[in-house]
Amino acid sequence: MRIFYCGDVVGRPGREAVLGNADYIRKDMKPDVFVVNVENASHGFGVTTGICRDFLAHGIDALVTGNHVWQQRDVIPFLDESKKIIRPLNYPENLPGHGSVEITLPDGRKILVAQVLGRLFMEAVDCPVQAIDKLLKNYTLGRNINAILVDIHAEATSEKISFGYYLDGRVSAVAGTHTHVPTADYRILPKGTAYITDVGMCGNYDSVLGFEVDEPINRLARRYTGGRLSPAKGKGTLYAIMVETDDQSGLAKSIEQIKI
């Protein structure tokens, strides 16, 4: 199975980078599954129902969010309505939405996509390890599921790497997001799980993490935080990974970093 996963979409440049290349990606790269993190797609903070529908209309198979999932209030009912968008698994279970989605391909193969939030330097949430363990009790690679992609949305690189090794051999891929800076450590771990600490963002890289530079500079130089962060305007760059898995074992055969 070929799994294409785009990192955090930031504002209009990120949306245009993904949607403007969606046909090319499907035609030339031929992924079986196309997944996008829309965490910052609406003005840099969260995502709206309209943006979600736009991505799904372009053939995206699943949408992943993150810690800003509650920022745009109109999307909250959509989290229950749509089976193709997920919020972090380790939020309290009584909140709207789902922490995972199971996708069945036209040929019958199945992939599970799930997300957890990290806890180091992040808001208080439930334990990501306990949450993913509870989910994976229902799935075994190569038996009742062909592939499993897990996003860990976290600040600390050490937490992401530890989580990758914790799941090594149990899932097809662990992909880090949230910090918006693509890392060069994409690899296959010893037991067969593809891993990257951060996929990177889809947005304008002439910026500070996708945002216009003035406000971050003010916060750095003056400790002045009265201004608002605004997504950078201009042309966006898409960062993603392509993971190819073995259909029998569900483990990774290769992982490639993609930049468009």
pTM of the complete model: 0.96
User: 188-201 pLDDT, tens per residue?
Assistant: 999 999 999 999 99
User: 200-244 pLDDT, tens per residue?
Assistant: 999 999 999 999 999 999 889 887 667 889 999 999 999 999 999
Task: Give catalytic status of residue 58 as yes or no.
Answer: no
Q: Is 153 left (phi over 0), alpha (psi -120 to 50) or beta?
A: beta
Domain ranges of the chain: 2-259
Domain 2-259 fold is: Purple Acid Phosphatase; chain A, domain 2 (3.60.21)
Q: Which of 58, 68, 98, 178 is catalytic?
A: 68
- Closest CA relative to residue 46, chosen from 25, 63, 26: 63
Q: Cβ(105)–Cβ(32) under 8 Å? A: yes
Burial 143-163, CB ≥16 within 10 A → b, else e: eebbbbbbbbbbbbeebbbeb
Average pLDDT over all residues of the chain: 96
User: 119-174 pLDDT, tens per residue?
Assistant: 999 999 999 999 999 999 999 999 999 999 999 999 999 999 999 999 999 999 99
Beta strands in the chain (DSSP E): 2-6, 33-37, 62-64, 85-86, 100-104, 110-117, 147-153, 173-177, 187-188, 194-196, 239-245, 252-259
Q: Distance between CA atoms of 163 and 152, rounded to whole angstroms?
A: 8
